């Protein structure tokens, strides 16, 4: 999956300019109940404006609220000028970059194209784990060796299971890999699990939702 598949296009994004007064940025944040805004000059990306950095700057300014608001512009406290994603970057990179911020900009050749939000990324994670569909969740381990996922696929095909999601963990040099498989509910789960174990998969948990 690529960033462009989870991106909010710029036409739908609230923005501010570097020369806007800080009061305008704060008013937009409050009005639309968002935590951060892209800072854009024309179509050129300049950075991110957030509640946190605005109040941090005010705290250390030594000024009254009125003095700070009157003398401070967005460009004085914007951050992440050089932190952004390309439209063809992979989804996993977005997960890493957005860990400390509610949004991250999508930029190509300095042109602002849109944003990826932490909320949208969490929705995609929920989808990857099949959390939006009811089914049977089977957690098991497998020895890390060639052909194990293929063997799992053969068992799934044999029982004509409908897969909602399949996620693997422990992408390291560990010998054992954890796997979470979610399939649609059927009355053959016990037999399916038995075949998994017979094929060398160690089943840790089976649960339904």
Last residue of a domain, one of 90, 109, 124: 124
> Could you read off the pLDDT of 12-29 as tens digits, one per residue?
999 999 999 999 999 999
**pLDDT over 70 percentage in the chain:** 96
d(CA 95, CA 99): 6
Last residue of a domain, one of 124, 146, 179: 124
Q: Which residues contact residue 55 at a Cβ distance below 8 angstroms, ignoring those fewer than 6 apart?
A: none
Q: Which residues contact residue 43 at a Cβ distance below 8 angstroms, ignoring those fewer than 6 apart?
A: 10, 111, 112
> Could you read off the pLDDT of 53-91 as tens digits, one per residue?
999 999 999 999 999 988 999 999 999 999 999 988 886
Higher pLDDT, 99 or 65: 65
Q: What is the pLDDT of residue 171?
A: 61
Tokens of 81: 């000028």
- For 190, the domain range is 130-208
Q: What is the mean pLDDT of the chain?
A: 90
Residue 21: count of CB within 10 angstroms of its CB: 15
C-alpha dist (Å) from residue 132 to 16, 19, 128:
35, 43, 9
Q: 108 and 34 in one domain?
A: yes
Last residue of a domain, one of 60, 90, 124: 124
d(CA 148, CA 145): 6
**CATH number of the domain encompassing residue 177:** 3.30.70.260
Q: 67 and 142 in one domain?
A: no
> Could you read off the pLDDT of 106-145 as tens digits, one per residue?
999 999 999 998 888 777 777 777 888 899 999 999 887 7
Q: What are phi and psi of 45, to 5 degrees?
A: -75, 135
Task: Assess whether pLDDT exceeds 60 at residue 173.
Answer: no
**CATH number of the domain encompassing residue 53:** 3.10.580.10
Assign 100 a pLDDT band (cuts: 50, 70, 90).
Answer: confident
Full DSSP string of 73-116: BHHHH-B-TT--B-TTSBHHHHHHHGGGSSEEEEEETTEEEEEE
């Amino acid at each position: 999956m690529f960033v462009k598949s989870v991106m909010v296009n710029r036409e739908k994004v609230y923005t501010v300019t570097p020369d806007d007064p800080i009061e305008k940025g704060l008013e937009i944040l409050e009005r639309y109940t968002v935590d951060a805004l892209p800072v854009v000059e024309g179509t050129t990306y300049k950075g991110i404006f957030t509640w946190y950095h605005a109040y941090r700057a005010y705290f250390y300014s030594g000024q009254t609220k009125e003095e700070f608001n009157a003398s401070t512009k967005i460009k004085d406290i914007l951050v992440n000028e050089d932190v952004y994603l390309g439209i063809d970057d992979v989804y996993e990179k977005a997960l890493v970059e957005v860990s400390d911020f509610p949004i991250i900009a999508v930029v190509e050749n300095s042109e602002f194209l849109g944003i990826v939000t932490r909320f949208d990324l969490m929705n995609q994670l929920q989808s990857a784990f099949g959390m939006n569909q009811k089914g049977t969740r089977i957690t098991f381990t497998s020895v890390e060796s060639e052909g194990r996922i293929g063997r799992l696929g053969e068992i799934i095909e044999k029982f004509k299971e409908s897969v909602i999601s399949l996620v693997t963990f422990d992408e390291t040099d560990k010998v054992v890999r954890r796997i979470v498989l979610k399939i649609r509910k059927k009355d053959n789960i016990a037999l399916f699990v038995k075949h998994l174990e017979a094929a060398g998969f160690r089943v840790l948990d089976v649960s339904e939702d």
